[in-house]
Structure 1
Amino acid sequence: MSGIYLHIPFCKQACYYCDFHFSTSLKRKEEMMASLIKELILRKNELENDEIETIYFGGGTPSLLTIKEIEALISAIYKNYKVINNPEITLEANPDDLTSKKIKELANSPINRLSIGIQSFFEDDLKFMNRAHTAEESKKCLKEVTQYFDNLTIDLIYGVPNMSIEKWKQNLNIAFKYNVPHISSYALTVEEKTALHTFIKKGKISPINENLALEHFNLLVEETKKQGLIQYEISNFGKKNYFSKHNTSYWLGKKYIGIGPSAHSFNKLERAWNISNNAKYIKSLSENILPLEKETLTIENRFNEYIMTGLRTIWGISFELIEKEFGNFYLAFITKKSVPFIKKGLLEIQQNKQHTTILTTTAKGKFLADGIASDLFIV
């Protein structure tokens, strides 16, 4: 089983923290749609022996597309790829785009899952992030969306400077009120070349407080658990049968292709990435040339990636898989390197339901998972 990711590189305005590839000009949207379809056609042989189980519209802001544009892209996938019955088809959407009319149109389209970028239910936070929507639009769209979509997720950001624990708890309680079956929640991070990075560098905004972010994270874990949400990945919490199939396939190392400027692809042996420039992407495809670069992954690359993704999930790192896929040297390496973290109570060894030995992060180690993983890499 494989997945297809479609990067829609357009936004109404730039969020101060975002370093994803996008343009705030929609002038070439029509050409971009044609180019996305062209890339889908040119790359169909890459997954000719695989069935597509997930389709994901990311960005950017995919909800800026019209229903006809969304359906045209989905139609191109069905014409050129083998798609399973009832695949998970997710659309990332912003609250300001989810008008009553748009929600009804989406409900009648092949889209069967929405990922809504709420980020915060408080106006001052949204202005701080330079989000295009208002707090009222967030609440209004959730009230309507939940009448039409059973499968949806919302994004929330924690670790925002000056956000009190009480305010973060209110954010969570408002989300719980709508009974959403899935929440993705991330710490605010400062990426270079973003407005947020510049503001902090110039002293206009306070630096990120990691201790505050940790307090927010711990509260997030505690409160979502009370609601019956399972933390199946460090930043993702879902009710049973509502885990994101698309993102889970990334963490479990399944193949996928990324369509659109800046999109990445993975086929277990190679990683590829498209050019992060709309004009060059469109020009290249008009000449029937794929605008991508490839990298053949070494065994060390693949091992390190498995460690990174595995420690972020409830499925952990399988010792049996490491022995089978990488060999005894790698099994001995991870066994020895994990000992200090086990002694500190950050990692633990357990048996899963399949009686496989797995290495996972403890509750104490979850927030530090990426740092722990990097210490377990082979360099």
Structure 2
Amino acid sequence: MPLLNRLLRYGLVGGAAAAVHIIVLLLLGPWMSLSLANPIAFLAASMAGYLGHALLTFREETGGRQFARRWLLLQYAVNLSVCALLPLLQAPTLVLVFTPTLLNAVIWSRAARFSAKAREHQNGQPPLLHADDLGLAEGVDAAILNLAQSGRLQGASLLVNGPSATAAVEAWRDLADPPPLSLHVCLTEGHGLPDSPDLPTGFGRLLLASLLPWQRQRIAPQLRAVLLQQISRYRQLTGLQHIRLDGHQHIHLVPLVLDAVLDLSRSESITWVRTTRESLPEGLSLRLWWRSLQTGGLIKWLVLQLLSGLAVPRLHRAGLQTNRRFAGVLFSGSMFGTAFRRSWETAYNSIAVDRASQSVVLIHPGLPNAVSGMNQKAFQQSVAFFNSTNRQKEWASAQKL
């Protein structure tokens, strides 16, 4: 009976979508050619199916929410391609009629399973909220300390060569229950080591150097020296022996840098390294996808997904722990409002895990005029980033958790 009920609902929605297709086609027919009217009518029918199957056919899986919009785009693109290709292959009439129907059933079923999995995550273990760049400037530190004091923040990363690092650590110790601190390895700016003049200072340049054996050999000693200097400084400031580690602009995931981290992990007691395996959030508007594309978030997401995929097996082989999920790359620089909420929901763990494996949601909060007191010459790349009002919006969104 449940299967029959599902089939009846599927048929009802399918019939409604077909009716929408016919009605739109009849309305547009007198005004434009069939070759243009039919794709428009088919888009209207696809939208009807998209809404109907989410809200009616698969309501148990979706909980009455829409599918992620990428499933509508996938269904429309696949159907248009198949309907254009099959006649060229002189496919039989039955194939022409039933192939799109079968493809739609597969696509909407997959969309339903994706929604069900996402809802399981949201009902599981919540992620840890983490802030980067403690020690960069007083306005940044104040926002991070405010979130930690109110209990909304579960961790922060210390930029040991930042101008306010000493004061930030002292304030962190004064918290009633200070969350864990991580070493925020910084190689793209502000490392301030005069005997490493040839060390590339950009993510792209270090990534490129990772692919060139002669560059790896030339840079490795300088890279090791910078890491040891920052590890020593971290211990001097915090008094901690065991080190949790991540990177400014996620530089620690570049293979050349990760090599150095792994080489030092045993001697320097590195126990945990952050990775950025980020699932794409559901329910994002086209405007938010466009924002991610404009700000380079989508490109960063693709690159860091690949680098994290390569890093995780190496970390496990070295006996290092890492987070299971992550959010904060896709909307890096604009983790506020709906983007923050959807990213937070998607980062839930569907199963209970220990703290070291819990999901991490990353933000970069700051107060108004957050760059005041920043060493703007040493941290040129961060000036515009923290001068933006988006830092304040991220801080405000985190306060609403």
Q: Fold conserved (TM > 0.5)?
A: no
Q: 1 or 2, which has the higher helix percentage?
A: 2
Greater share of strand residues, 1 or 2?
A: 1
TM-score range, shorter chain: 0.3 to 0.5
Which one has more relative contact order, counting CA pairs under 8 Å at least 6 apart?
2
Larger radius of gyration: 2
